[in-house]
Amino acid sequence: MPTAIVTGSGGLIGSESVRRFIEAGWDVVGIENDMRARFFGEEASTAHVTEELREGYSEFRSLDLDIRDAEGVNRAFADLGGKLDAVIHTAAQPSHDWAAREPQTDFGVNALGTLNLLEAAREHAPDVPFIFCSTNKVYGDTPNFLPLEELEKRLELPESHPFHKGIDTSMSIDHSTHSLFGVSKAAADLLVQEYGRYFDMPTVCFRGGCLTGPQHAGAQLHGFLAYLMKCTVTGTPYTVFGYGGKQVRDNIHSADLVACFQSFQRAPRAGAVYNMGGGRRSNCSMLEAIEVCERISGRELQWELSDENRIGDHRWWISDVSDFAADYPDWQPRYGIDEILQEMYEQNVERWMATAG
């Protein structure tokens, strides 16, 4: 039976990876220490997800391990005795705002933690696919200089622009403001590419847009669709930061992203990098997302608009996923914005209402 290591196994993409790979016949070793509770408070804790995975799957075991611990990470790889078939690295500090509060912690988790995992993989499993959740924030605020047009409910690129179908990896990551989170993830992204190219290891960076799904523990600083729906359901006031609420994001469901991981694992490449998101199939502005949340929930969101946008935040981002689709034609995304938010509502409304009192 093949075996995978999944870091951040209690998080949105990590837990989806655990489920999908186990259901495909794998054993999975999770690396998780619930730092999300420290980042975003107890309401964002992943402890209950880890416990659910333990109880639901005999093929899963979880290690309480900080990826900044190089010796611990190396020991986890060594203990598998060469019986390893994939590394799926989703653990991260994911927030712009939080990174500015504790830059050393942010860089330690995102960059140093990734280096520790790559070194352990190079020593113990150099031929095993190493799959990394990167981010579109490696491009900094370069997308904000695109010639966007202001429509009634969104910003949009002219159809004649080369990036109208989505932004590809030809966009520069230089001469831009990234936020400290974007910098730490860019460092990790380059490390993953370099280990692939320099050491000829099968590595891939998926530069995600907004990653989402019903398991997302949405918080004010991270996971905007989940938090937006939660606020709509519970009557919690919501603040939209900047751009008149017309900023556009593409959103990819966790199941569609993990399907990418599975495709790459079956046919890996060295030093691969892809922009990965909802693309033209699944994207929305904040104003459009609010409308969908209100329609699905039958409730009106209490929200206000702040004139200040977050540093490094994008005015418009839609991923061009055509490179991955061309390399892996077996991959077919299944979810759009309406399907994502409908599923999110149905699976969480009772719990959200109960905790709201």
Domains of the chain: 3-355 (3.40.50.720)
Distance CA(97)–CA(91), nearest Å, equals 18
Distance CA(304)–CA(283), nearest Å, equals 22
pLDDT of residue 308: 84
**147-162 average pLDDT score:** 98
pLDDT of residue 217: 62
**295-313 average pLDDT score:** 89
- Residues in Cβ contact with 73 at an 8 Å cutoff, skipping those fewer than 6 apart: 31, 65, 67, 113, 116, 117, 120
Distance CA(103)–CA(180), nearest Å, equals 7
Residue 263 buriedness (CB in 10 A; 0-12 / 13-18 / 19+):
middle
Is pLDDT of 311 > 80?
Answer: no
Is pLDDT of 316 > 70?
Answer: yes
Q: Which of 244, 232, 211, 256 is nearest to 316 (CA)?
A: 244
Is pLDDT of 296 > 60?
Answer: yes
Is pLDDT of 228 > 80?
Answer: yes
- Residues in Cβ contact with 184 at an 8 Å cutoff, skipping those fewer than 6 apart: 93, 99, 106, 107, 109, 110, 111
pLDDT of residue 319: 98
pLDDT of residue 291: 98
Is pLDDT of 137 > 70?
Answer: yes
Is pLDDT of 221 > 80?
Answer: no
pLDDT tens for each residue of 9-43? 999 999 999 999 999 999 999 999 998 888 888 87
For residue 285, the Cα-to-chain-centroid distance in whole angstroms is 18
Neighbours of 132 (CB within 10 A): 27
Q: pTM value?
A: 0.94
Structural contact between residues 46 and 11, judged by C-beta atoms closer than 8 angstroms: yes
